Structure 1
Amino acid sequence: MTGAFRPAADTGVTVADDASVVYLARLPGGPLVVLEGPAARIWVEATTAPAEGWVARVAGAFDEPEEAVCADVDRFVVELQGQGFLEPVPAAGA
């Protein structure tokens, strides 16, 4: 089982033990990017199995309905992909 997304091949990632902070860097030269709060939660849930329902898990962490956060979550994931930090996990059998 995998997450919906994974770190890009040249992305170094460190997640705090309580998952409240995520440190990202494009290797080898950076820069270092720090994700906190909702940004860290989005990263953790997007990259943690199971892929199904990960946006709902983000919403649940903040006691919000999925529909209320979906657009913002999608926008942030697109931003992370554009910066080269995140890539989608291919569907099984694709």
Structure 2
Amino acid sequence: MNMVIQRIFGTPVPAASESGAGKQLPIDEIRRCLHGTLHDCKDMRAQRMIYKINTAQTPVDLWLLRSDLHQCIAQTHSQSVAAERINSLVHVFEGWLPASQLAKI
């Protein structure tokens, strides 16, 4: 897993003991959190996002869906609501990604 993160982000990943790996949420819990951001988005784009969330293999794959999630939520609501919802997800990825990558939008 560390090699995948290193390849994607080009940064070394701390060892499990340094990254707080004991605090990592399971991938199913991360999926539930992402689904929660779409709870009131009912159009076809939201259905496609739910499919992408359900088929993502890793927490990194889920992290990379943030932009698509933002667009989907912004279409139903506004950009500020979308940014607020996406930013509320940062903590669920702690331990899965380097802290430097956990930036809010």
TM-score (norm 2): 0.33
Bigger Rg, which one:
2
Higher helix share: 2
Higher strand share: 1
TM-score (norm 1): 0.36
